Amino acid sequence: MPSPRQPSRGFSVRPEKETAVISGDLIRKATEQMRAPREEPETHIQYRIQGRTPLEGEVRISGSKNAALPLLAASILCRGDTVFKNVPRLRDISTMLKILEFLGAKIHREDEIVCINTDRLENRPITHELVSKLRGSIVLLGPLLARFSEVKMSYPGGCVLGKRPVDAHIESFAQLGIKDLSTDACLHLKGRARAGEVILPEFSVTATENLLLLAALLPGETHIELAASEPHVQDVCRFLAASGVPVGGIGSHTLTVRGRGSRLNATEHTVTSDYLEAGAMILAGITSRGQITVQGAERRHLLFFLNALRRAGGKFSWDKADELFIDGTNSRLNAVRLQTNIFPGFPTDLQAPFGVILTQATGVSRIFEVLFEGRMAYLYELEKMGASIEILNSHQALIIGPTPLHGRQVPSNDIRAGFAMVLAGLCAEGETIVTDVRYIERGYDRLEHKLKSLGADIVREEL
């Protein structure tokens, strides 16, 4: 009979049981706790939204968080001062910078510009307090392995979107010679990696980024098959190329990295714009029945999304290469079948916001979420606001429209579902209160200010 499959290590952590035997152990443990970074008390934040106000004006899209996080981690590979421009001002970015400072990096930050020097970096175990709220900290594995041949860190946390195990990272690293010494409470990888061929077990964005950053310092060529091709992955590839590491196949599912064998050249890099924020703002214009211009959007990043919006009756046009005019006033929404997929397919991170506009579309729309089983929870909140929804299973649902939405108090279950609730509030009659806004503010740079600049009646409250 086949041996039972070992349970995959997820990102949820079971605390270790510790026993202090003598007073000296108690003193040492207390001292270590005093030195460890302390988590600040959580402030409860909510948005209070008065709906039915058409948005008008111009809004500029910020840099991509999903690109900025691995790029900041990539500074570990570089000598001297690495400068990043167009870095979004988000909680997740601040957390990543705190982790780098914990490891010994010198950081100067001014608005959207971040300068990082990692010349005196130390390979220290990264504590649970630092990574528990940042799933993106997983991208530190690759550069730390490349530089120190060993990494220890607690399992990263973040939004709960179903099971997202680290097996893809561990299996991929193993193909280059890295040993897995992890426990239930700690990720521990060790070994001197060798350039070679890696076949990813799935189209994992962060595993692809980790492999790119590891391979950058390995002498010889590393071939990555089944690589993710999202815009933020492409941005990491472009950064490596500018730092002296040739990367072939950018934008495809096969990447070739010709590693240097030594630290990279310090460089200056502008983070690509956030196509997920662009899509969200486009939907805000449609949902509110307003007319807005979205600046800084990349056409090639939005092709499949805009095609779905066109099929649903949304009206838009490109004024310039990076300016998109959204005409929600003259949009006549109709039902569509929407299926998420890996890039360049419809982004899973825009599925929930798109679901909101489908409540205002005529007919029966079907949503098929193929990537995560936890992405349908926002539909229950839309039902409370008056939407007509039938959830078929954890991956499929029907939305019957159009139905008027009414203001309610609704939670933000994760970053993207939280923005969906904001959209629902913009088109609902009366007042909507969106709670747990800390999730939303991990993914959208100054969202409240941008919506206010477009005329939205939205107030941010700290409780």
Residues catalogued as catalytic: 159
Which two structure tokens, joined as six digits, stand for 172? 């991929």
Report the candidate in 363, 345, 362, 369 with the shortest Cα–Cα distance to residue 420: 369
Which two structure tokens, joined as six digits, stand for 181? 């010494």
- Return the bridge partners of 257, or none: 222, 247
Burial of 366-390, coded b for 16+ CB within 10 Å and e otherwise, reads bbebebbebbbbbbebbeebbbebe
Task: Determine the residue type at 11.
Answer: F
- Give the largest CA-CA distance in the chain: 74
Helix 141-148 and helix 65-74, axial crossing angle in degrees, nearest 10: 10
d(CA 337, CA 114): 42
Distances (CA, A) of 307 to 315, 417, 423: 11, 22, 20
d(CA 379, CA 387): 8
d(CA 32, CA 114): 30
H helix runs in 312-397, sequence order: 351-358, 378-384
Q: Which residue has the tokens 């003598």?
A: 22
Q: Which residue has the tokens 């510790």?
A: 18
